[in-house]
Structures are given as C-alpha cells and as structure tokens.
Structure 1
Amino acid sequence: MSVNITIEISRTFETSASYDRVFDLLADVPASVSHFPKVEQLVDLGDNAYRWEMKKIGVDKHAIQTVYACQYSADKERGSITWAPVKGEGNSEVQGSWSVVDKGGRVEVRFQTKGSLTLPLPSLLKLAISPVVKHEFNSLVDVYMDNLQKEFAS
C-alpha cells in the first residue's frame, strides 16, 4: 500500500541584485541547493541532472525520506531555468521553473514547482499525513526563498 501526495508551490520576490548575479546563482544547481534547508545530499548524475536526497522527517520507523532527481536546463537570454523529473530515481517526481525578469533596477524572481511524492503508507493515513507533508515542504521552500533573498542582499 502506498499514498501519493501532490504538492504545488509558487513564490515570487524581488531583489536589487543584478540580473546576472541572480540568474547565475539559480542556474548553478549545487550553489542554489546550498541555500535549501534539510538537504542531506545532492548527487551529480551528469549532464546537468541531480538527485536530491532530503533529510528524513518523522521518527524511527515512521520517518520518511524524499528522494528525487531532476534534469535542469537554463536559458539566460529568456531568463528561464527549468527542471523535469528523471524517471526511476527515488520516491518522488518534481518539475518546475525559475523565471528571472529584469525590471530596471529590480529583478523579479518567480519560482514554481510541482511534486508528486509516493509514501509506503496505508491509504487510510492519506487524510492525516497529506496536510503535514504539504506544510513541511511549504516551510522548506519559504526558508529557501528567505535564504536566497539574504544572499542576494549581501
């Protein structure tokens, strides 16, 4: 038995950092991921694909670990960084994008992602566990956005 949980997250912020600085950091996956909380390990799979191995959440036999891999693509001229799932890697599939727009003195940064997490739990637990998992991932993304904004402000 397993439970599938889908999470969609969207965030936008502006910074006074230069377009080049913002884009270059976000397009450098290891540099960007270094600002994401609770990443146990980022594994370079080659060809700009990376496997994310998150720290376990929960206690003992009820702890879950999210593992997924994405193939990244960056287009600086368009201000677009995208990622798509690498099939067969981990217990989740994640896709999404960064959009970086120069607004003349400010840079607008938009983050969108959608993930599907499969957990080895009885389906009866979906109603109870789904809000907890969604809250945890939203909290992680909020910390990530805060960390990036602090980095761009320095």
Structure 2
Amino acid sequence: MAITVSIELNRELELPAGYDEVFELLADVPRSASHFPKVHQLTDLGDNSYRWEMEKVGVDKHAIQSVYACKYYADKDAGKITWEPVRGEGNGVVSGSWTLKARGDNATAVKFQTSAELTVPLPSLLKLAISPVIKHEFNSLVDTYMNNLKKAF
C-alpha cells in the first residue's frame, strides 16, 4: 500500500548579487544543491539530469526517503531555469522553475516555483495524518534553502 502526497510551492526573494552571478549559481545544479538542506546524495545522471536522494525522515521501518530525478534547462537570455521529472527514478515526480530579473547591478529578484508528487509506502488510512507532515517538512526545507541562498551572496 502507498499514498501519494502532492505539494505546490512558490517563493519570491531578492538576492544581493548581480544577475550573472545569481544565474550562474542557480544553473549549476550541484552548486545550487549544496545549499539545499538534508540532501543525502546528488547523482549526476548525465545530460544535465540529476537524481536527488534526501535524508531519511522517521525511525526504522517508518522512515521515509524522497528520491527523484530531474533534467535541468537553463536559458540565461530568458532569465529562466526549469526542471522536469525523469520518469522511473525514485518515488517522487518533481518539476519547477526559477525566474530571474535584474534589479540594478547588485540585486536580482528570483521566483521559485515547484510541484512535487511523493509516493510513500504507508497505508492509505494514514494519508490524512501524514500528508500535512510531509508538506510541512518540504516547506521547511525550501525555506531553509532560500535562507541559505541569501547567505551565499
């Protein structure tokens, strides 16, 4: 038995760095991922695709681990970095984008949008209890990621 939890996140922030510097960091997936909390392993699958394996959350047989892979596309002229799911990798399907806009020479406005579906091996009876916990954890990780990115500049 398994349950699937859907998550949609949107964040906007301004980073204290020039457009080129911000784009370079966000388009470099391993470098950007180094600022994301609780990443157990990031594996280069080639062709700008990466498998994300997050740290396990929970205890023993009740531990949940998110594993998913995405292919990344960077278009500096359009100010967009997007990612699409690589099917058949792990228990998650994740897509999303960064949209960047220069705010003078030393600031860049960024919009982060992501959608995720995570399938976890739990009885469907637990969906109502577990779904908010998973969503909260995902929100917390993304908020920490945003704060880490601010500190990086």
Return the letter of the residue paired with 1:132. V
- Residue in 2 aligned with 1:102? 102
How far apart, in 2, do the equivalents of 1:74 and 1:7 lie?
23
Runs ≥4 residues deviating over 4 A: none
Secondary structure, in 3 states, of the residue corresponding to 2:88? strand
- Looking at structure 2, the residues matched to 27 and 107 of structure 1 have their Cα atoms a distance apart, in angstroms, of 14
TM-score using structure 1 length: 0.97
- In structure 2, the partner of 1:43 is 43
Report the CA distance between 1:57 and its aligned residue: 0.3
* Structure 2 counterparts to residues 37-116 of structure 1, below 5 A: 37-105=37-105, 106-116=107-117
Instruction: Find the counterpart in structure 2 of residue 29 from structure 1.
Output: 29
- Structure 2 gaps of 5+ residues are none
Structure 2 SS opposite 1:90: coil
Specify every segment of 5 or more residues in structure 1 that has no aligned partner in the other structure, as ranges: none
- The alpha-carbon deviation at position 107 of structure 1 amounts to 1.0
Provide the rounded CA distance (Å) in 1 between the counterparts of 2:63 and 2:149.
28
Q: Deviations over 1:124-150 (max 9, x none)?
A: 000000000000000000000000001
Deviations 1:65-124 (CA, angstroms, capped at 9, x unpaired)? 000000000000011000000000000000000001012243101100000000111100
Partner residue of 1:134? Answer: 135
**Cα separation, 1, equivalents of 2:31 and 2:40:** 15
Normalising by structure 2, we get a TM-score of 0.98
CA contact (8 A) 2:16 2:150 kept: no
The answer to whether the 8 A contact 2:6-2:118 is kept is yes
